[in-house]
Every structure is written in structure tokens, then in C-alpha cells.
Amino acid sequence: MRLGVTGLRKAWPGLTVLDGLELRVDSGEVVAIRGASGTGKSTLLHCLGLLDRPDSGQITLDSQELSSLSEAGRTAARARHIGFVFQAFHLLNDFTVRENVLMSARTAGLDLTEGRARASELLGRVGLGERDGDVRTLSGGERQRVALCRALLPRPALLLADEPTGNLDPATAAVVLGEIIALAKAEGSAVVMVTHDPEVARRADRVLELRAGRLA
């Protein structure tokens, strides 16, 4: 088991979003999480990605307890062990395609020579081996592939994707989704995807429904 979540609880004033949530994801496994709007899917993803602190509960990644880490420890864990793919891509417009991909090598403190080789390899695998330059000139699908390469560059144990195909047309979404699943499995990453898209859910190894703060 790569990712284990036990008794995760997160509440806002007057609203309990996550209520003793349990989750296990194995290496190379793709788990899709569905749920109606406002049920806490993104909150769950933010807690798993150490962007937000749960009120209680434990998150372990490769047997390492993450939820009690200090601010610096959480930042380091995000840099080295967790990859993010967002619906809005969140690329950095001041940097080129390759620099965006390489940015996660910089934040993780990896060797830049190796990082460059890995960036080329990943970009080649998603069909962007020849593309560089301003990221604003890329299409939505290309941007999402660049974001995927950035997320996977440090070989994260956990890949979190929040509506990764939400901004893409169905054909592009299918291609990007295929690449996420293929690359994550090849890297042995545990994948948790939040989605409304039935196609995404269909291609996942497991589909879980978030309801009343718990997964079913």
C-alpha cells in the first residue's frame, strides 16, 4: 500500500466536510472519486496533497505519517513525494515549456542535468518532445500534458488530479487521461483523481463516491 488514510476529518464552521474518511491506494492503482458539488472532493484532495490540514486523522505515504509534519516537512513532502495535476493547469507563464516541467526538479532539489533528461523523456512520451517556448501558445490539451510531466518528473509516490480533463474537449480529454494513467502506472505512482467525468471513472481501477464525508 502506498497511500493510507484513516479517520480523516475536516470541518468548516457549521459544516463537516470529511467525517472519518478511510482510503487505501496501492502502487500503480488509479482511484477515481466522484461526488456531487460541495461534498468535499477538492478538500479531500487538498488534505491528501498536504495543502490543507485535516482536523484529525492520519495520512501515510509509503508508511510515513504525513499529517503531523511541520510546515517545512509538508512543503518538502509535496516537492518530493506528491504530484499535482489541476483542472486549470496552473502552468507558470513566465517560464517556457521545459522550464515549467523542470520547475518540480528545482523545488525537489534534484540534479538539474538528470532533471533535464527526465523532462525530455516525459515530454517525448506525451508527444511534446519538440515543443518549447511560451506555454501560453499551447492548446489546453498540451498544457495539461505539460502539467502532467511537471507532476511526474520527481517520480512522486502519489499523483493527485483534480478534474484533470475538466477543461478539455472529449477527444483531447481521452488522450490526456490515457497518458495520466499510463505514465502513473509506469512510474508506480498511486493515483487519486477527483472527477465528474464518467469516462474518467470508467477507466479508473476503482471508483469511489464521496457522500456525507465518507467514501463508499
Q: Which position among 150, 161, 193, 195 is part of the footprint of other proteins (CB under 8 A)?
A: 150
Q: Does 57 bind other proteins (CB under 8 A)?
A: no
196 — phi, psi (to 5°)?
-105, -10
Contacts of 104-108 with CB under 8 Å at 24 or more apart are: 104/79, 104/150, 104/151, 104/153, 104/154, 105/153, 105/154, 107/79, 108/79, 108/80, 108/153, 108/154
Q: Does 51 bind other proteins (CB under 8 A)?
A: yes
User: Residue 26 CB: number of other CB atoms within 10 A?
Assistant: 13
Please calculate the CA angle 9-39-6 and round it to the nearest 5 degrees.
30
Q: Does 131 bind other proteins (CB under 8 A)?
A: no
Q: Does 75 bind other proteins (CB under 8 A)?
A: yes
Task: Give min distance, CB of 68 to other proteins, in A.
Answer: 18
Task: Give min distance, CB of 81 to other proteins, in A.
Answer: 9
Closest CA to 101 of 114, 176, 88, 50: 114
Instruction: Give me the amino acid identity at 180.
Output: I
Q: How many residues bind other proteins (CB under 8 A)?
A: 30
Q: Does 145 bind other proteins (CB under 8 A)?
A: no
Nearer to other proteins, 15 or 88 (CB): 88
Nearer to other proteins, 26 or 35 (CB): 35
The one segment of 62-70, 75-83, 124-132, 137-145 that binds other proteins by CB under 8 A: 75-83
Collapsing DSSP states into helix, strand and coil, what is residue 65?
A: strand
Q: Does 94 bind other proteins (CB under 8 A)?
A: yes
Judged by the rule CB under 8 A, the positions of this chain that interact with other proteins are 42, 46, 49, 51-52, 71-72, 75-76, 78-80, 84, 86-88, 90-95, 103-104, 106-108, 150-151, 162
